[in-house]
């Protein structure tokens, strides 16, 4: 506006945008507020080599704007495969929906060795920590204000918001839940990741334990992979033998022509 010669106060623009029901596309703050009386755990992932599913899980909460009002979304993600293991939508920021998402993830997928979150009050609450302690899971927390410590779930939020949430004006929490659920299913089951050889998060999460035949060739310790390698060796040797025999016969024919 200033480049067009229009001088206007930033607060006035913000107020008029609010009156018209429009807003800029950016993430809302204050979904990670801590509690001074809650225990904060150290960050355990720095320098850690993460090379398999269920080694590290992470969770985070984000803000989901709707046509009128907003809801909150929590997701539990497997760090290695990037698969979203569970998620919940809530109209409040209490710890209950976070605990429910955590329980669902562990009931369906076992438990991780380490669970990483930010220092938000939902994740430092007694109820949430009790779930992890009861399963013997080591607890890791981002440094204060260090969103990069949970970078993969932050990238998930960015993709979800720009590809789904910001393009839709959800009329209700139920509609938001349906749209988000459909997108997360697409993300898990159909969206390939370059980091993992263009396999989907679901393929990486299930295949690394030899449960997915298509992924076996990448796993040197997998019986399927070893069998594939042995078969490939046999095929290669067979081709070499055939080529050698063919070449030898061709040489004999040429020699016969020269003698005649």
pLDDT value for 61: 95
Instruction: Enter the pTM of the model.
Output: 0.68
| Residue 249 neighbours by CB under 8 Å, 6+ apart | none
> Confidence band (pLDDT; 50, 70, 90) for 10?
confident
Residue 54 has pLDDT above 60, yes or no: yes
* Chain segment 202-223, per-residue pLDDT in tens: 999 998 534 433 333 333 334 4
Confirm if 89 and 180 have CB atoms less than 8 A apart: yes
Residue of 109, 159, 155 lying closest to 135 (CA atoms): 109
1-10, 101-110, 165-174: which has the minimum mean pLDDT?
A: 1-10
In the chain, % of residues over pLDDT 70: 66
pLDDT value for 150: 76
Instruction: Please count the other Cβ atoms lying within 10 Å of the Cβ belonging to residue 155.
Output: 11
> Confidence band (pLDDT; 50, 70, 90) for 225?
very low
Residue of 141, 137, 98 lying closest to 117 (CA atoms): 141
Segment 172-181 mean pLDDT: 97
Confirm if 205 and 101 have CB atoms less than 8 A apart: no
């Amino acid at each position: 506006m200033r480049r067009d010669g229009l001088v206007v106060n930033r607060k006035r623009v913000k107020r008029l945008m609010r009156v018209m029901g429009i807003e800029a596309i950016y993430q809302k703050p204050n979904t990670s507020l801590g509690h001074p009386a809650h225990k904060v755990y150290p960050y355990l992932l720095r320098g850690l080599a993460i090379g398999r599913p269920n080694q590290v899980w992470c969770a985070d909460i984000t803000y989901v704007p709707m046509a009128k009002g907003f809801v909150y979304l929590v997701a539990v993600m497997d760090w290695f495969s990037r698969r979203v293991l569970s998620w919940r939508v809530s109209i409040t920021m209490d710890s209950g929906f976070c605990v429910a998402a955590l329980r669902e993830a562990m009931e369906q997928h076992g438990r991780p060795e380490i669970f990483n979150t930010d220092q938000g009050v939902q994740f430092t609450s007694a109820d949430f920590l009790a779930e992890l302690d009861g399963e013997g899971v080591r607890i890791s927390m981002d440094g204060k204000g260090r969103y990069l410590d949970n970078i993969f779930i932050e990238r998930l939020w960015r993709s979800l918001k720009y590809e789904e949430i910001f393009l839709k004006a959800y009329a209700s929490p139920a509609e938001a839940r349906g749209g988000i659920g459909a997108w997360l299913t697409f993300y898990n089951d159909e969206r390939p990741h370059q980091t993992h050889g263009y396999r989907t998060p679901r393929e990486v999460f299930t295949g690394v334990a030899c449960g997915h035949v298509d992924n076996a060739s990448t796993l040197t310790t997998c019986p399927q992979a070893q069998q594939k390698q042995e078969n490939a060796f046999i095929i290669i040797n067979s081709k070499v033998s055939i080529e050698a025999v063919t070449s030898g016969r061709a040489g004999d024919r040429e020699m016969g022509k020269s003698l005649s």
